[in-house]
Amino acid sequence: MTITTTEPSAAAHRPPSWWERQTDRVMRRPLNEWTFTHMNWLLPTARVARGRAGNPLPAQPRPLDVTYEFGEWEHSIEDLHQRTFTTAFVVLHQGRIVHEQYRGVFAVPRTRMQLFSVSKSVTSMLVGIALADGAIGSVADKVTEYRPDFLGTAYDGVTIADLLDMRSGAGEEETWGPDSAIRRFERAVLSGGDVAEIVRSVPRGCEPGERFNYSTFDAQVLGWVLEAATGVPLAAYASERLWQPIGAVTDAFYGLSRSKPRTAISAGGLNATARDLARVGQVMAEGGGLLAPAPSEAPGYSNQWWTFPGGRFSGIGVHGQYLFVDPAASVVIVKTSAWPVEEDDALEQESIAALTAVAGSLA
């Protein structure tokens, strides 16, 4: 089948405006500590309502005297927070809070944190619920069965399973260069522009299912498929089928694109408290996720989760956001951060090493 693509508009390649340059600045330190806790001041939002009676997490605090090795040195958890710009840190063991710290200038237990791509993992959980509800027939269903506006694009012929594992074949390697597709997507969300047009414009990189290619666009299309299948806006579905059942204590919200028609950013727009996000992780730790990541003895990616040896897995977002789950140890760790840049391999490797050590110390 021949795939045609829509050429990006000339506006997609123009130099960033003054306002767009400001949005870049607020994503950098030190301003991003404020930005990541006040996204509802910067974007329109849709509320993910909690139920009438939240169910506070039980607490059994204890000292967290853990060290981890990184490079040639051994570090403490205090080192981790200082070296990786932690803003909130919540550890659950067997469903109880055993450790909790708020290091960010604006972070307290009721602060809703910008979770970036951890949102993708939550979207996967919602897709699993929709499958169980029968709203989605099968992961073998094609994207275009739910979103026919993607006929003739690189997403034509792509299945839901391809999206879940980021094997759509649509688009190129995701990099944060000044005129990259993901940067244009971010600018459209924050400053106005047709978000769906940008996603529809990406070229076919390879055949669906052929290889893994990390793609925010795959996760965004997955959210659009979910909304089309359920007939319910993403935030409303998340409230009814996830946030209320887990007993969340605080409303969450999804950031929406600034331009109309506004769309929820399922790939990176969820904002929630660290404690409520830990509840989401507890569902996965107890085997309640209907689309659990496949176990792997090497780092990998499955059903919108990063996977690690020993059955551990994590939702990971840029600037250092983690929802780390170790089912065997019955440990869930939420770490939010305000890294100076979107991605940093050293900060990533150190964070995973530390979270793995914390989980191991509680096993």
CATH of the domain at 152: 3.40.710.10
| In a domain? residue 10 | no
Round to whole Å and give the CA distance between 50 and 90.
20
Written as six digits, the tokens of 70 are 């990184």
CA distance 254 to 262: 11
Sheet holding 305-308, edge to edge: 96-102, 86-93, 331-337, 321-326, 312-317, 305-308, 300-302
| Model pLDDT for residues 241-262, shown as the tens digit of each residue | 999 999 999 999 999 999 888 9
Any domain includes 293? yes
Q: Say if residue 158's pLDDT is above 60.
A: yes
Place 22 in a pLDDT band, splitting at 50, 70 and 90: low
For residue 239, is it within any domain?
A: yes
Does residue 202 form part of some domain? yes
Residue 5 placed within a domain: no
pLDDT band at 190 (very low <50, low <70, confident <90, very high): confident
* Choice between 38 and 183, residue whose per-residue pLDDT is larger: 38
> Distances in Å between the alpha carbon of 135 and those of 49, 122, 222, 228, 263?
21, 17, 14, 9, 20
Q: For residue 23, what are the domain limits?
A: 18-362
Enumerate the β-bridge partners of residue 336.
Answer: 88
Cα atoms found within 13 Å of the Cα of residue 324, Cβ hemisphere only? 28
What is this structure's pTM?
Answer: 0.93
Whether residue 52 is contained in a domain is answered as yes
Do the domain assignments include residue 11? no
> Rounded to whole angstroms, how far apart are CA atoms 214 and 168?
10
| Cis peptide bond N-terminal to 61, omega within 30 | no
Quick check: is 7 in a domain?
no
Q: Report the alpha-carbon distance of residue 177 to residue 174 in Å, rounded.
A: 9
CB 360 within 8 A of CB 64: no
User: Is 224:263 a contact under the CB 8 Å cutoff?
Assistant: yes
Beta strands in the chain (DSSP E): 45-48, 67-70, 73-76, 86-93, 96-102, 113-114, 252-255, 270-272, 300-302, 305-308, 312-317, 321-326, 331-337
**% of the chain exceeding 70 in pLDDT:** 94
Domain count along the chain: 1
The dihedrals phi and psi of 47, each to the nearest 5 degrees, come to -80, 135
